[in-house]
Structure 1
Amino acid sequence: MKKNFIVPLLGAVLFACQTTTENKSVSISGESLKAHIQVLSSDDFQGRKPFTEGETKTVNYLTDQFKAYGLEPGNGDSYTQEVPLVELTATPSETMTIEGNGKTIELNVLDDFVAYTEKVVEEISLNASELVFAGYGVVAPEYGWNDYEGLDVTGKTVMVLVNDPGFASGDSTFFKGETMTYYGRWTYKYEEAARQGAAGCLIIHETVPAGYPWLVVRNSWSGASLYLDQSGGNYQPDVLGWITRDAAIKIFEASGQDMKNYAEMSRSDDFKPFSLGLNASVTVRNEIKRDQSQNVIAKITGSERPDEYIIYSAHWDHLGIGQEIEGDSIYNGAHDNASGTATMLGIAEAMSKIEQKPKRTVVFLAVTAEEQGLLGSKHYAQNPIYPPAQTVANINMDGITAWGPMKDLTVVGYGQSELEDIAEELAKNQGRYILADPDPGKGYFFRSDHFQFAKVGIPALYASGGYEHMTKGVDYVDSLNQVYLTSQYHRPQDEYNEDYWTFDGMALDGELLMNVGLEVANSTAWPSWKEGSEFKAIREESRK
């Protein structure tokens, strides 16, 4: 991680910080957090994948904990919300064939490409589909940018770069510079390709602009995947996929194009999309299974304004049992996201012990299928139990560091919401400082469940410590971050580790996030999106 992103403390907050003083005796037990994580990330829970015995055990555990704390059911008389999903187990052909210009390239599945479909069909193909290079695959009128300008891609397959044109440009005013916009997310690439009428979309993977190595791609986009089971199908191209940088270079070379600096070329003002003069062929076969997964939801009803809501969210799911790595095939997901789920349980337990109940209703929402594309939170946002216009704030927990107390409170998507101003003041009370996300180019703001709340206008906070240890400094945390990202993230090795996992820092984060929620719950004010946020207009429209 970089070491130069400390943000000066802001001078004012919109809320008087009284709740913290009134509830100084309320704390979160580190031992309780440890116990939750040990259970949720145990082999017995089989990696907590939806549609498995691991889901049943997880949902039962969360429900039992909420009941034990005395929380009310969050969905009428139920502690769950059904989430209809379809499981597609994709089996691509062993090779993707690229032909043209008298040349044939055979790309090997998993090593060179992954391919799948979100169409609920048993088989779908690209048959000699014309390949087109469309730069970053972005149409952004507010930036005067159109990577598809003058090009008809109907029925064709587009190759596009990961991230957006601002990344690595050296210009903070170009898009958002190193900070990824939604135009840089892979979900956007597919959506835009579909709007353009493309039959296929292949994203060129590179580790730095993507934010994760190829192993994550091949693990996440192969085998069984879950999607919301929506009538009318998914608005996506027929075939979706990723290819490695090396595979892309082979394709560029076969096209006869000089593409040595294709990323730099694609961010230039005079870039024009073009056909590569090659055709792609690949087939995807699906096994189809429909079922219901569950969001788990509980609440503490507000004492004065029960029809105004603060929602805490954390995803309970992980990747289940998958490809064996280093002799282990259970993807336990201790950090991602037993840690966030445990912290939410810790907040729920602590809040349940406060004598003076919050004035607004506080909701605890453990969502399913985050790892499959934020599906549980997406379903909730599309089918809200509590009206978005009456939902004051979302506070999301995903990957709470268990490496000790941190000086920082890192805010992902810093500058978006006034909730961060409240968090900043409370961090000062803990002797901590606010830090903007040191890796904004990785697009973490679009990669966890708060994003689905933001898309419907609800101000959201996604923050935790994870940069500078209170006593061991920046380098200690950086070394553990690098180990996690390179050898544990989305692997079976994301397990509880007694050698260096501690829970005092996790409890510190939990107490801070709890107090943010209490500040909002006991206030009459409505935190809003800041000027320049793409979600501000959505909120203002919903509150009319």
Structure 2
Amino acid sequence: MRIRSFALTVASIVTTASAFAQSTGIPKPLRKPLDKVSAADYEAHVRYLADDKLQGRLPGTAGYQMAVEYVVEQYKKRGVLPAGENGTYLQTVRLRRAYTELGATLRLQAPQGPEQALTYGSDFTFYPNPAEASTTVAAPVVFVGFGISAPELGYDDYAGLDATGKIVVVAQERPKQFPDAVRLYNTDLLTIMQTAAKHGAVGVLLAATKATTQLVDLPKGAVSVLGPDGKVAVSRTYGGAQLRVLGSVSAATLHRLFHGSASDTARALAALRTGRPASVALQPRVLATQGSRYKDVESYNVVGKIQGGDPKLRDEYVVHTAHLDHIGVGAPIEGDSIYNGAHDNATGVASLLEIAGVYSRLKQKPRRSVLITMVTGEEMGLLGSAYFARNPTVPKSQIVANINTDMPTIIAPLLSVVALGAENSSLAAPVAEAAQAFNLTVEADPEPAQNRFIRSDQYSFVTQGIPALHIKYGNKTADGQNNLSQQVQQWRARYYHKPQDGMNGQFDFEAGRKYAQLNFLIGYQIADNVTRPTWNAGNFFGERFAK
């Protein structure tokens, strides 16, 4: 990886990675701009964004608008150029919260025998339909195992099965035969819906396989993004007009659906658990009815630009993202009802503002341009980032990489890092070099079961074929116990998505300063390297999305 030097001689225009990793670690032209990153300024950003007056920064509220205005003011102070819509810093994101109306019904119509009416809440639930206020669907049913169609991996639940015009039933279990990243992608709800729609289905029912499993209900609704045409543009719970029903059913309902078929739940689930598809046409038809109501609000992504220094490469972009939203005001816990989101994600926003400050102090900018992008609706399902990644305010083909920052959890000194997603592409190299410059070790994810790679905004860029990563804390601790993930889990139990995530919690703002410096250096290297980042040969995500 190459780093721009600011010496006047032609021979010193570019330094090599070996020079970059000398004892001083950081190239001389970057040292003073990086040194001026301030833990006090970092804390001040967090304090403002996590103040009660912002009421938890829920999109569509006055508190979120205050956060937007604060970010715009900070961009202007740092000389960050507007890169939103119509010469502004803003990209409008129209959010629709959809609710399922009372009175939804699901009936099983067997070839013989009486119709069975199921009970909402215990036998089934429906997710609201953000595009159709009143829905009635009568259709045959097929069981499609995990709902995975990946012939290139030697596995296809849809092989030999006609799902056209039918409702598919998907077992809510995790396949064990795939690597983590492949499993996460294929069992993500959006992928399940897209796969069902590709095979002609008109609905999806997610089936519990254990009697103790609670059905997923959405009393607070499901949120989608509307495009300028008023149609659903982005959603985590809507697979398009073809898929008219999305819901969940209990294990008992799954047994009912299998009655009279060529298999039964015991045999089908046993086959799935050994890695063999167990798809089968089921005997009952189902009649589903549902009503949905809507509440629409406008929110904003906030997009600023640092203009690159190379006449040719300045039209390519490295995108830093952090989500600006949190979850607003909710149920009181210990007498507090404002979910301030200090760690989640005021610290991420503070990191990007300090990164912007470093760029403002550079005498010469990197070759490529850099977008500093605060996105909305992350807590609603990565909605703001998904909308931006699909509809960026710069040409999508010119975005070369995304570096996301979400809840770094700065509760201890930063001694090691996990680079979620970097292993998929050439982005692993700038991560390693930047980490070495700050005497940090790079570790494997200590919590793979948390599915963190697909749970934050970097995944929105991955699904658009753009290499992306997200820097999290590693496990290393100053006392040598190297058990930070255990401390983070304890912190999470106490603070995560609770009103307690405010300024009275645990912080290490010097670690926040270092975290911002590290993310700057990673992004700077990518922006200044003449070679565009690439997916690793044969990488699952590169093969799936970049082509």
Answering whether residue 22 of structure 2 is matched by residue 47 of structure 1, we say no
- Which moves more between the two structures, 180-189 or 469-478? 469-478
C-alpha separation in 1, matches of 2:225 and 2:369: 31
C-alpha separation in 2, matches of 1:117 and 1:413: 32
C-alpha separation in 1, matches of 2:542 and 2:418: 22
Structure 2 SS opposite 1:507: helix
Partner of residue 532, structure 2:
526
C-alpha separation in 2, matches of 1:488 and 1:279: 46
Contact 1:392 1:526 in 2 (8 A): yes
Structure 2 SS opposite 1:180: helix
Contact 2:321 2:374 in 1 (8 A): yes
Letter of the 1:300 counterpart: I
Partner of residue 469, structure 2:
461
Partner of residue 150, structure 1:
160
Partner of residue 4, structure 1:
none
Partner of residue 344, structure 2:
336
C-alpha separation in 2, matches of 1:288 and 1:382: 24
C-alpha separation in 2, matches of 1:107 and 1:506: 50
Partner of residue 9, structure 1:
none
Within the candidate set 22, 29, 37, 1:22 is matched to: 29
Structure 2 SS opposite 1:50: coil
Pair 91,37 (structure 1): closer, same or farther in 2 beyond 3 Å: farther
Contact 1:314 1:367 in 2 (8 A): yes
Answering whether residue 130 of structure 2 is matched by residue 124 of structure 1, we say no
Give, in angstroms, the shift of residue 422 of structure 1: 1.2
Partner of residue 63, structure 1:
72
C-alpha separation in 2, matches of 1:139 and 1:289: 35
Partner of residue 85, structure 1:
95
Partner of residue 225, structure 1:
223
Q: How does 1:365-444 map to 2 (within 5 A)?
A: 365-444=373-452
Give, in angstroms, the shift of residue 402 of structure 1: 1.7
Q: How does 1:504-515 map to 2 (within 5 A)?
A: 504-515=510-521
Pair 340,112 (structure 1): closer, same or farther in 2 beyond 3 Å: farther
Give, in angstroms, the shift of residue 51 of structure 1: 2.0
Partner of residue 187, structure 2:
184
Partner of residue 6, structure 1:
none
Per-residue deviation, residues 433-474 of structure 1 (Å, max 9, x unmatched): 112223445443222222222233322121221433333743
Answering whether residue 374 of structure 2 is matched by residue 363 of structure 1, we say no
TM-score, length-normalised on structure 1? 0.82
Q: How does 1:78-117 map to 2 (within 5 A)?
A: 78-91=88-101, 93=103, 106-109=118-121, 114-117=125-128
Pair 189,266 (structure 1): closer, same or farther in 2 beyond 3 Å: same
Contact 1:97 1:107 in 2 (8 A): no
Unaligned runs of 5+ in 1: 1-11, 208-212
Contact 1:412 1:445 in 2 (8 A): yes
Partner of residue 194, structure 1:
197
C-alpha separation in 1, matches of 2:481 and 2:181: 25
Give, in angstroms, the shift of residue 512 of structure 1: 0.7
Pair 106,268 (structure 1): closer, same or farther in 2 beyond 3 Å: same
C-alpha separation in 1, matches of 2:158 and 2:331: 37
Answering whether residue 273 of structure 2 is matched by residue 271 of structure 1, we say no
User: Which structure is larger by alpha-carbon Rg, 1 or 2?
Assistant: 2
Pair 80,156 (structure 1): closer, same or farther in 2 beyond 3 Å: same
Q: Which has the higher contact order (CA 8 A, sep 6+)?
A: 1
Give, in angstroms, the shift of residue 429 of structure 1: 2.5
Structure 2 SS opposite 1:474: coil
Contact 1:163 1:185 in 2 (8 A): no
Per-residue deviation, residues 8-43 of structure 1 (Å, max 9, x unmatched): xxxx96995686443223143222222222322333
Pair 395,457 (structure 1): closer, same or farther in 2 beyond 3 Å: same
Q: How does 1:317-356 map to 2 (within 5 A)?
A: 317-322=325-330, 328-356=336-364
Stretches of 4+ aligned residues off by more than 6 angstroms: 12-15, 538-541
Contact 1:331 1:494 in 2 (8 A): yes
C-alpha separation in 1, matches of 2:67 and 2:95: 17
Alignment RMSD, CA only? Answer: 3.5
Structure 2 SS opposite 1:495: coil
Give, in angstroms, the shift of residue 124 of structure 1: 1.9
C-alpha separation in 2, matches of 1:96 and 1:47: 37
Letter of the 2:199 counterpart: Q
Per-residue deviation, residues 232-264 of structure 1 (Å, max 9, x unmatched): 653562122345xxx225532774565358655
Pair 52,449 (structure 1): closer, same or farther in 2 beyond 3 Å: same
C-alpha separation in 2, matches of 1:356 and 1:470: 37
Per-residue deviation, residues 36-60 of structure 1 (Å, max 9, x unmatched): 2232233322332222223312211
Letter of the 2:31 counterpart: K
Contact 2:123 2:252 in 1 (8 A): no
Contact 1:180 1:443 in 2 (8 A): no
Pair 342,144 (structure 1): closer, same or farther in 2 beyond 3 Å: same
Letter of the 2:292 counterpart: N
Partner of residue 44, structure 2:
35
Contact 2:97 2:224 in 1 (8 A): yes
Give, in angstroms, the shift of residue 355 of structure 1: 3.2
Answering whether residue 148 of structure 2 is matched by residue 138 of structure 1, we say yes
Contact 2:168 2:205 in 1 (8 A): yes
C-alpha separation in 2, matches of 1:214 and 1:264: 21
Pair 222,159 (structure 1): closer, same or farther in 2 beyond 3 Å: farther
Structure 1 SS opposite 2:372: strand
Q: How does 1:471-486 map to 2 (within 5 A)?
A: 471=479, 473-484=481-492, 486=493
Structure 1 SS opposite 2:135: strand
Pair 255,360 (structure 1): closer, same or farther in 2 beyond 3 Å: closer
Per-residue deviation, residues 79-121 of structure 1 (Å, max 9, x unmatched): 1112233332333547756676779574443x77542234422
Pair 39,379 (structure 1): closer, same or farther in 2 beyond 3 Å: same
- Which moves more between the two structures, 354-363 or 364-373? 354-363
Structure 2 SS opposite 1:47: helix
Contact 1:19 1:522 in 2 (8 A): no
Give, in angstroms, the shift of residue 139 of structure 1: 0.7
Pair 178,457 (structure 1): closer, same or farther in 2 beyond 3 Å: closer
C-alpha separation in 2, matches of 1:263 and 1:31: 56
Give, in angstroms, the shift of residue 177 of structure 1: 5.1
Structure 2 SS opposite 1:303: coil
Structure 1 SS opposite 2:47: helix
Q: How does 1:293-304 map to 2 (within 5 A)?
A: 293-304=299-310
C-alpha separation in 2, matches of 1:429 and 1:320: 38
Per-residue deviation, residues 200-225 of structure 1 (Å, max 9, x unmatched): 21224699xxxxx979x546x74252
- Which moves more between the two structures, 145-154 or 505-514? 145-154
Give, in angstroms, the shift of residue 497 of structure 1: 5.0
Q: How does 1:154-169 map to 2 (within 5 A)?
A: 154-162=164-172, 165=175, 169=176
Contact 2:421 2:468 in 1 (8 A): no
C-alpha separation in 2, matches of 1:427 and 1:271: 44
Pair 163,407 (structure 1): closer, same or farther in 2 beyond 3 Å: farther
Partner of residue 448, structure 1:
456
